[in-house]
């Protein structure tokens, strides 16, 4: 298996996903694309997973993007109208889900960026809500240097996350930026030492998982929806999203816990 999905005992309601091809810079080959897409689908359907954490194996690379030796020949054969094996066709169909490009995970995602995040690796990170990186991490979108259009998340999500000028610096120059610069422009939340990376990401995931599940899900989806709405519509829509939550059992439990001076016990109801 080139992707591992674990449910750590010490972190209830958290799924830890690890890209596990360190010998190939955790690049996404055909098998990895299929496996990663399947994992994301399972997490999206799992009611007991309240947050996911994504990281890479090893200490050099988070994800270097597509494994060109594996994906390019198959893509070229498809373009020529040649017959593909079923597993090859399924891998190509899995690209958008694997990259979370247009596929809604339905669950907050925290990235623990343990090294270089390039091309599709950066696309994956852009789909997450929180990101932490080690000092040696770098970030780059190299498609224009290869004569390609960035068709993952970069042209859709990056300008909404870091602003026009910073987005175009990454998109048009193909030059990498370091972790310090990524933090300065808001591409990552913080830069932490390697030994603290996964604990930091898991602590954030635990905090999300400890909150009221229905409220977390509604807030996550609401922010994504309202980004493109005019202000007047956004204010009206946020009231529509928030109103049902006030009648949930979790909201009543939060009120009881406050009065009784104890931590709330949320059930997602």
The strand ranges marked E within 135-226 are 138-140, 177-178, 190-191
* Residue 124: closest CA among 158, 93, 148, 90: 158
Cα separation, 182 vs 175, in Å, equals: 13
d(CA 144, CA 110): 28
Known catalytic residue: 253?
Answer: no
- Please identify which of the residues 143, 225, 232, 249 carries the catalytic annotation: 143
As a dihedral over the C-alpha atoms of residue 225, residue 216, residue 62, residue 104, rounded to 10 degrees, the angle is -40
Kind and range of the H or E run holding 15 = strand 14-19
* CB contact at 8 A, 43 and 107: yes
Q: Tell me the catalytic residues.
A: 143
């Amino acid at each position: 298996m080139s992707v591992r999905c674990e449910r750590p005992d010490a972190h209830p309601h958290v799924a830890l996903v690890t890209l596990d091809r360190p010998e190939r810079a955790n690049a996404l080959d055909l098998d990895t694309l299929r496996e990663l897409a399947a994992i994301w689908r399972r997490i999206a359907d799992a009611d007991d997973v309240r947050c996911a954490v994504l990281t890479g194996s090893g200490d050099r690379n988070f994800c270097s993007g597509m494994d060109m030796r594996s994906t390019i020949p198959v893509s070229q054969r498809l373009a020529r109208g040649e017959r593909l094996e079923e597993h090859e066709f399924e891998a190509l169909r899995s690209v958008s889900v694997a990259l979370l490009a247009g596929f809604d995970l339905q669950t907050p995602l925290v990235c623990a960026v343990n090294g270089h995040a390039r091309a599709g690796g950066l696309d994956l990170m852009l789909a997450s809500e929180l990101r932490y990186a080690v000092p040696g991490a770098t970030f780059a979108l190299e498609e224009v240097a290869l004569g390609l259009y960035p068709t993952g998340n970069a042209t859709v999500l990056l300008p909404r996350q870091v602003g026009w000028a910073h987005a175009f610096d990454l998109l048009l120059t193909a030059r990498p930026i370091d972790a310090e610069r990524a933090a300065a422009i808001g591409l990552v939340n913080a830069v932490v030492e390697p030994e603290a990376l996964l604990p930091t990401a898991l602590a954030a995931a635990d905090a999300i998982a400890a909150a009221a599940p229905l409220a977390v899900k509604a807030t996550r989806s609401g922010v994504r929806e309202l980004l493109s709405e005019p202000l007047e519509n956004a204010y009206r829509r946020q009231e529509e999203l928030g109103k049902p939550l006030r009648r949930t059992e979790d909201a009543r439990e939060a009120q009881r816990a406050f009065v009784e001076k104890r931590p709330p016990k949320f059930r997602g109801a």
